[in-house]
């Protein structure tokens, strides 16, 4: 019984993380609502994400921003904030932050 409940919980958590990842993807600057900001993530090819401003106060997110500052400074070639990490790592971090805010 406990094993089955744990599997159901894990499946629900995975589905929630997939939903969070889909919601992070954004199409244009017009899609950035108040209280959010756009970031470009990736080591080579960049993907655009829209994240809540509240993430700026999280130490893990601040570490990513420090890495971005070291690599790109404040001159971002895409015109927006660029974070040089793997997209999967970024989605994992923002998914954890989202779950913590529920």
Query: What are the residues facing 17 on neighbouring strands?
Result: none
pLDDT at 18: 54
Residue with tokens 């990736």: 42
- 52: CB partners within 8 A, 6+ apart: 35, 36
Average pLDDT over all residues of the chain: 75
pLDDT at 93: 92
Q: What is the pLDDT of residues 16-37, one digit of tens each?
A: 555 555 555 444 556 788 999 8
Q: What is the pLDDT of residues 68-89, one digit of tens each?
A: 788 767 666 666 788 888 899 9
Q: Comparing C-alpha atoms, which of 12, 90, 102, 100 is closest to residue 51?
A: 90
Averaged over 92-101, what is the pLDDT? 88
Q: Comparing C-alpha atoms, which of 47, 46, 63 is closest to residue 97?
A: 63
Q: What is the pLDDT of residues 42-57, one digit of tens each?
A: 888 889 999 999 999 9
């Amino acid at each position: 019984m406990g094993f089955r409940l744990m599997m159901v919980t894990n499946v629900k958590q995975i589905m929630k993380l997939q939903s969070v990842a889909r919601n992070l993807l954004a199409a244009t600057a017009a899609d950035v609502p108040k209280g959010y900001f756009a970031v470009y993530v990736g080591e080579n090819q960049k993907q655009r994400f829209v994240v809540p401003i509240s993430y700026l106060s999280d130490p893990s997110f601040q570490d990513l921003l420090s890495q971005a500052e070291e690599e790109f400074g404040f001159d971002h070639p895409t015109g927006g904030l660029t974070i040089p990490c793997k997209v999967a790592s970024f989605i994992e971090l923002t998914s954890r932050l989202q779950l913590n805010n529920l």
